[in-house]
Amino acid sequence: MRRCVTFVGRGGLLFLGHRFPGCPGAEAWSTTRIGGVSGGARHGLNLDPRGGDEPEAVAANQRRVLAALGVEGVLLPRQVHGD
């Protein structure tokens, strides 16, 4: 059986890479905190500008992700835990 989720290091960042059996070329990437510039309670790779982090740190983290993945934009869904 092929592994569908793997840890992948790119550009000093650590991602979870997701591949989808039966869908050649389809990929999804999830970030970890490894390799980011945010400090304090948001230490690491914070990408959410709504989280109370310094805007400059969030922008730098987003640029790092774009460069590491070689893409022009990211999707930042709003996840809610609870009702």
Question: What is the rounded CA–CA span in Å between residue 31 and residue 53?
Answer: 17
1 pLDDT more than 60? no
**Residue 83 confidence class, pLDDT cut points 50, 70, 90:** confident
Residue written as tokens 């310094």? Answer: 54
User: DSSP alpha helices (H): ranges in 5-79?
Assistant: 55-69
pTM of the model: 0.78
Query: Which of 27, 39, 38 has the alpha carbon at shortest distance from 64?
Result: 38
59 pLDDT more than 50? yes
Q: What is the pLDDT of residues 8-57, one digit of tens each?
A: 999 999 999 988 888 888 888 899 999 999 988 888 999 888 878 999 99
**So what's the pLDDT on residue 15?**
94
